[in-house]
Chain A
Amino acid sequence: MVTRFQYQTALTFVSPASEHRFLLKILPPSDGRQRVIDLAWSVEPQSSLWLTHDAFGNACVAGFADMPHSRFTFGISGKADISSEPYVLCQSPPPVFACPSALTRPFGALADFYAALAPGAPDGGEPLRRIEHFSHAVHSRMEYKRGVTDIATTAGEVFAMGAGVCQDYAHILLTLLRLDKTPCRYVAGLASGYGETHAWVEAWTGGRFYGVDPTRDKLADEGYIALSRGRDFNDCSVERGVYKGSCKGTQTIDLTMTASEATR
């Protein structure tokens, strides 16, 4: 299905920022599940921009804006053809995807949750059922709530609170799957019906990475466009920046996704 997308973020600074260095992971890859047909991107203001990539193969826009500015915007728009099959082929995932990362360490209560959950998980036959079982458990256990967590909140902390947003759901599922010895990765991207960037999980089984969304308790279908992948949120921030100026600021995000054509 061909989907049009338009996404923009604006950062507004209380006092002007200068010597602003940034790294943006906003460029959707063509990966077999999604094929990018059209892509335009913009960053304002900027003194220098260059394209690069990180160790996980994510395309990045890097650059800096030296002159003082009180507003910084970046965005993408384009068209992508998204397959109805919710997976990406991959023969052997990097070993780190099977190991705990900084935000997905299996702490006490979360490890206990896994221990209680594992015996009842479907075994053999269709491994995807087992993955969905864990995703469903995360969805049922957690309450969706904004403002209670931030980018540094670990899976263990979120689990103890019982509430969080999509990236927290993803971190808990990653922790459970890694305890279950299933390599898996964090995905940052866009999802239709979700007014900001979204996060979900890809779990590896049988030579494929399946997209699973614990926040909505479903597989990542044609409504999902991936932007970047990594061990956890730290590898996939849409925007990283350092600048001189006041740390207070506000962020506004606009996202629209529309299915334009039903054919490939």
Chain B
Amino acid sequence: MDSIPPITAHEINRLMARYGVKFGIYKNGEFIEQLFPFDPIPRVITAEEFGYLAKGLVQRVTALNCFLGDIYSEAKIIKDGVVPEEFVYISTGYLPECAGIAPPKGIYSHISGIDLVQSKDGKWYILEDNLRVPSGASYPLIARELCRIANPDAFSQNYVTDNRDYSDLLNDTMNHVNRGGLNVILTPGRYNAAYFEHSYLAERTGAPLVTASQLMVDNKVVYMKDYLGGAARVGAVYRRISDEYLDPMTFCRDSLIGVPHIADAYRSGNVAIINAPGNGVADDKGVYYFVPKMIEYYLGQTPLLENAPTYLPYYESDMKYTLENIGKLVIKDVSEAGGYGVVFGSNLPPEKLVELKELIKREPRRFISQEVVDFIDLDILDEGGGLVPRKADLRAFVLTGEETRVWASGLTRFSRHADSFIVNSSQGGGFKDTWVLSL
């Protein structure tokens, strides 16, 4: 690896800027587009290790899909006392508007982004499930493409599993649930954080990239309008807008980026929405605690991949433990995402710790606490071409069509600051390619 000169890193970052590989963030009401800094040293996962991870991820996503199907129908897991009602019906991710809807083929989470970290002893932990509109697959895809141009030998001499099959996986997933007609990718438009990804995935899959104004619903059927006044039926919508903005007739009434009546078409079984609306109830940080129990409950199996040790102040014993050990725990606000609302007890002065304890006592349902997993550092190239260690996680992409499969690649994100554990791109993190070896 030391043979990659720093010029290559700069060159690839320059190419990515040219290709528009960017993401946007809103800061103080202003839209700023940033490059997503790329580090050319890949994370390498052996075939054996990946096989194990894949089994665990498929198991987890299967159970999460069972949970969603159950919650929006009979809610047996609540009746059987495995998950308390309080963690479901008052969750902002739970949408009563979706109760009783059976999505095509019973699939709720078609594309799942599961975040993992590897601790220093080599063990993998699940950090977070993202079942709404997880983004990020396009970054390792295009980075690999550019790296292959920059250094073809690296791929012919190392047994790296080709990751260009992501578009096939995505097409299989869309085709499997398609209710007749086109697959389309619905974007809010170019001011969205992940617009690069929307356009890139459309290009790779051949699915038209559309905004809401190009779609219309007539008598519970979705159509894509063309420039000549014609309309083509749409059977699956891979939507990259969040639930609340999806349909002003059913959800947030002020939404201008949604498609009026699309929820009605979905309810009637005439279109698949990918991922299903209402998935937020299963990737809530509070519900995360219960995922291992879901695996046992629905599948009768022992979880292959563990959660980071987590406590729910909702339970009295966990509240006690959290309050007594707050200085060494990480506290997460369940309603926040993107690395916001995460506080390390060790970083807080005593008076802030007291405030936080009071807040947890007042609103126990709002927080979880976790042991800090001392996860591994991966080397990155610094400005001068030297190697420096940085905290890194892995977002694995799990796609559910006829079967559930894990994409043999993934997004490795790293923190750009030596003392930080936060790797989110919205917080300035960078990314690496993830090589899964084929031998």
Which residues of A approach B to under 8 Å, CB–CB? 21-23, 48, 50, 52, 54-56, 62, 64, 94-96, 98-100, 231, 234, 237, 240, 242
B252 → chain A closest CB, angstroms:
9
Complex CA distance for A48 and B75, rounded to whole angstroms: 37
Q: Using Cβ atoms and an 8 Å threshold, which residues of chain B touch A99?
A: 89-90
Give the dominant DSSP class at B's interface.
loop
B363 located at the interface, meaning its Cβ lies under 8 Å from any Cβ of chain A in the complex: no
Contact in complex: B248, A242 (CB < 8 Å): yes
Of the listed residues B75, B94, B96, B250, the one surrounded by the most CB atoms of chain A closer than 10 A to its CB is B96
A219 → chain B closest CB, angstroms:
26
Complex CA distance for A99 and B75, rounded to whole angstroms: 16
Contact in complex: B99, A55 (CB < 8 Å): yes
Contact in complex: A52, B268 (CB < 8 Å): yes
What are 27 contact pairs spanning A and B, CB under 8 A?
Answer: A21-B249, A21-B261, A22-B249, A23-B249, A23-B261, A50-B219, A50-B220, A52-B220, A52-B268, A54-B97, A55-B98, A55-B99, A55-B100, A55-B101, A55-B267, A62-B249, A62-B261, A94-B96, A95-B75, A95-B89, A96-B99, A99-B89, A100-B90, A234-B253, A240-B248, A240-B249, A242-B260
Give 8 nearest A-B pairs by CB, closest first.
Answer: A21-B260, A23-B249, A96-B96, A50-B219, A99-B89, A55-B97, A99-B90, A95-B89
Contact in complex: B253, A240 (CB < 8 Å): yes
Q: Using Cβ atoms and an 8 Å threshold, which residues of chain A touch B249?
A: 21-23, 62, 240, 242
Closest to A97 in B: B96
A228 → chain B closest CB, angstroms:
13
Q: Using Cβ atoms and an 8 Å threshold, which residues of chain B touch A231?
A: 96
Contact in complex: A48, B218 (CB < 8 Å): yes
Q: Using Cβ atoms and an 8 Å threshold, which residues of chain A touch B248?
A: 21, 240, 242
B85 located at the interface, meaning its Cβ lies under 8 Å from any Cβ of chain A in the complex: yes
Complex CA distance for A56 and B75, rounded to whole angstroms: 17
B264 located at the interface, meaning its Cβ lies under 8 Å from any Cβ of chain A in the complex: yes
Contact in complex: A95, B85 (CB < 8 Å): yes
Q: Using Cβ atoms and an 8 Å threshold, which residues of chain B touch A23?
A: 249-250, 260-261
Chain B, 95-110, contact with A by CB distance < 8 Å: what is the 0/1 string? 0111111000000000
Complex CA distance for A96 and B85, rounded to whole angstroms: 10
Complex CA distance for A240 and B85, rounded to whole angstroms: 31
B184 → chain A closest CB, angstroms:
19
Contact in complex: A96, B89 (CB < 8 Å): yes
Complex CA distance for A242 and B247, rounded to whole angstroms: 10
A139 → chain B closest CB, angstroms:
28
Q: Using Cβ atoms and an 8 Å threshold, which residues of chain B touch A21?
A: 248-249, 260-261
Complex CA distance for A237 and B248, rounded to whole angstroms: 12
Total count of chain B residues near the partner, CB < 8 A: 25
Contact in complex: B90, A54 (CB < 8 Å): no
* B264 touches which of A52, A100, A237 (Cβ 8 Å): A52
Complex CA distance for A12 and B90, rounded to whole angstroms: 39
Complex CA distance for A242 and B256, rounded to whole angstroms: 8
* A54 touches which of B85, B250, B253 (Cβ 8 Å): B250
Complex CA distance for A231 and B216, rounded to whole angstroms: 28
Chain B positions 95-146 with a Cβ under 8 Å from a chain A Cβ: 96-101
Q: Using Cβ atoms and an 8 Å threshold, which residues of chain B touch A234?
A: 253
Chain B positions 258-276 with a Cβ under 8 Å from a chain A Cβ: 260-261, 264, 267-268
Complex CA distance for A99 and B98, rounded to whole angstroms: 16
Q: Using Cβ atoms and an 8 Å threshold, which residues of chain B touch A56?
A: 96
Complex CA distance for A22 and B250, rounded to whole angstroms: 11
Closest to B98 in A: A55
Of the listed residues A21, A55, A64, A240, the one surrounded by the most CB atoms of chain B closer than 10 A to its CB is A55
A92 → chain B closest CB, angstroms:
11
- List 14 extra interface pairs beyond A52-B264, A55-B267, CB under 8 A: A21-B248, A23-B249, A48-B219, A52-B220, A54-B250, A55-B96, A55-B100, A62-B261, A62-B264, A95-B75, A95-B89, A96-B96, A98-B89, A240-B253
Q: Using Cβ atoms and an 8 Å threshold, which residues of chain A touch B253?
A: 234, 237, 240
Closest to B265 in A: A52
B84 → chain A closest CB, angstroms:
12
Complex CA distance for A153 and B121, rounded to whole angstroms: 53
Complex CA distance for A54 and B75, rounded to whole angstroms: 20
Q: Using Cβ atoms and an 8 Å threshold, which residues of chain B touch A100?
A: 90
Q: Using Cβ atoms and an 8 Å threshold, which residues of chain B touch A98?
A: 89
Q: Using Cβ atoms and an 8 Å threshold, which residues of chain A touch B216?
A: 64
Closest to A243 in B: B260
Complex CA distance for A95 and B75, rounded to whole angstroms: 10
Complex CA distance for A100 and B261, rounded to whole angstroms: 26
Q: Using Cβ atoms and an 8 Å threshold, which residues of chain B touch A242?
A: 248-249, 256, 260
Of the listed residues B218, B250, B260, the one surrounded by the most CB atoms of chain A closer than 10 A to its CB is B260
Complex CA distance for A48 and B100, rounded to whole angstroms: 27
Closest to B248 in A: A242
Complex CA distance for A118 and B249, rounded to whole angstroms: 37
Complex CA distance for A198 and B326, rounded to whole angstroms: 51
Complex CA distance for A22 and B261, rounded to whole angstroms: 9
B231 → chain A closest CB, angstroms:
12
Closest to B95 in A: A55
A75 → chain B closest CB, angstroms:
20
Chain B, 203-220, contact with A by CB distance < 8 Å: what is the 0/1 string? 000000000000010111
B100 → chain A closest CB, angstroms:
6
A174 → chain B closest CB, angstroms:
14
Complex CA distance for A237 and B260, rounded to whole angstroms: 15
Complex CA distance for A180 and B210, rounded to whole angstroms: 47
Of the listed residues A95, A100, A234, the one surrounded by the most CB atoms of chain B closer than 10 A to its CB is A95
